[in-house]
Amino acid sequence: MPLKHKLLAVVLFTLTASPAFADTILILGDSLGASYGMDQNVGWVTKLQKQMPEHKIINASVSGETTAGGLRRLPALLETTKPDVVLIELGGNDGLRGFSPKKLKSNLTNLVKLSKAANAKVLVSEVMVPPNYGPRYSKSFIQVYKDLAKDSSITVIPFFMTEIAPHPELMQKDGIHPNEKAQDKIVEFVRPWLM
């Protein structure tokens, strides 16, 4: 066999023998992605991985995480995981702590810029604050995500808790976090955006 044919055979064998994923998806979230109050094995990110075995899903969600915390962690995560897609699900803890929408927008914008600079497709999950924070704050908070979609030319997906939070049977006792019964519903909601 000529040398060039041998080299081609080696290359083809290497390509077919190596496990290949369609995409590596990095999920940068807070307690909603970190399966707060339950075992991670029953959380929506783990369930999503089982439904999307052709993808490598890396869950970098941390309970209590703010956009500022995510911004500190993201450069190292991008370097080590080299994701094709970054799903950012942050902002809830910023809202619960009453942080300014201006700072929220700045942090989210920088998260998007870092992800794009790493050649990743970026999705941002919309987040809402509880109604007891008042209509003015709630409106300015949700406007951040609308402006982000327009200014950064990215896809902002609707907040998956919108269809879950009104149903007590799908929520934990704290009234903030979804319970185990809700996890499949979150997968059903999120998966089409990642396809």
To the query of whether residue 31 is one of the catalytic residues in this protein, the response is yes
Task: Point out the catalytic residue in the list 30, 31, 55, 125.
Answer: 31
Note whether 143 and 104 are within 8 A (CB): no
Q: What angle do CA 189, 157, 45 make, to 5 degrees?
A: 45
Q: Which of 94, 100, 177, 184 is catalytic?
A: 177
User: What distance in Å separates the CA atoms of residue 134 and residue 171, rounded to the nearest whole number?
Assistant: 22
Give me the mean pLDDT over the 185-193 stretch: 97
In tens, the pLDDT along 18-59 reads 456 679 999 999 999 999 999 989 999 999 999 999 999 999
Give yes or no: 174 in active site.
Answer: yes
Residue in 48, 43, 17 with CA at minimum distance from that of residue 30: 43
Q: Which residues contact 100 (CB under 8 A, 6 or more apart)?
A: none
- The CB density around residue 44, as the number of other CB atoms within 10 Å, is 25
Q: Exactly one of 106, 115, 174, 184 is catalytic; which is it?
A: 174
Residue 88 pLDDT > 90: yes
Confirm or reject CATH 3.40.50.2300 for domain 29-194, answering yes or no.
Answer: no
Alpha-carbon distances of 63 from 37, 66, 182, rounded to whole Å: 10, 9, 18
